[in-house]
Amino acid sequence: MSFTFRFLNLLSLLRQFEKEAIFIDVRIAKRTDFIISSYVGAIRSCMTDVSLFRGVVYDTSSATDHFFADVLRSFCDRHFESEGKELSYDEYLKCAESDDFPDDVFRFFDGLSKGEGRFRWDRLVALHVLLVCFINHIGLDHQKAKIRGLMSIVGSFENVEIRDNFPNWLEQHGLPKFDLFRIRLAIFLARYMKRGRLG
């Protein structure tokens, strides 16, 4: 329950950002503003976009290893009170026990494990990569990940088709080119480290 609470907290905060950031004024915006906006969109899409699974057989009509965008937006909106304040953990638990609380989030995470023969694990690995790269831009120095940290994360992908498609999928979200280069490099190094050709 605590993990789903933190997951909804993250996505709900990004949802609030998207609702309030109607546009970015290019005359006064800083480069960081565009980077933040790009990452917010990419992180949300990471949980909803079925094209992340290009190369594998997946039934896109059923939200088993992804969320429908409108449904996820509805979850996020419910996670905030009418005053715009996110629910506390205790309030979240009370809502989760009610009969009308949607259980899609619980079903997504229920029994999650690597090697289960599904694709939701890889979706969360992709989310992890995006969060780490995002923190590299807005976090403190001690919070920033080096290339070996990225290698460790991308090495957790279960399906090579999704792993190899991930950088191509990222290109549509306008992320900094250096970030895309680092992710491609991390995948390359992790692949060959696993084969015992490096290190």
What would the pLDDT profile of 140-173 be if each residue is shown by its tens digit? 888 999 999 999 999 999 999 999 999 999 999 9
Name the token pair of 126. 């992709």
Euclidean distance between CA atoms 37 and 17, whole angstroms: 9
Question: Could you tell me if residue 21 is inside a domain?
Answer: yes
Name the token pair of 127. 């989310």
CB 175 within 8 A of CB 42: yes
Question: Could you tell me if residue 199 is inside a domain?
Answer: no
CB 12 within 8 A of CB 76: yes
Position 196 pLDDT exceeds 90 = no
Question: Could you tell me if residue 106 is inside a domain?
Answer: yes
Residues 6+ apart with CB under 8 A from 102: 71, 74, 75
Tally of domains within the chain: 1
Q: Report pLDDT digits (tens) over 9-61.
A: 899 888 888 777 656 665 666 777 788 889 999 999 999 999 999 999 999 99
Question: Could you tell me if residue 77 is inside a domain?
Answer: yes
* Residue 199's pLDDT band (cuts 50, 70, 90): very low
Question: Could you tell me if residue 129 is inside a domain?
Answer: yes
Question: Could you tell me if residue 167 is inside a domain?
Answer: yes
Question: Could you tell me if residue 7 is inside a domain?
Answer: yes
Owning domain of residue 6: 2-194
Question: Could you tell me if residue 58 is inside a domain?
Answer: yes
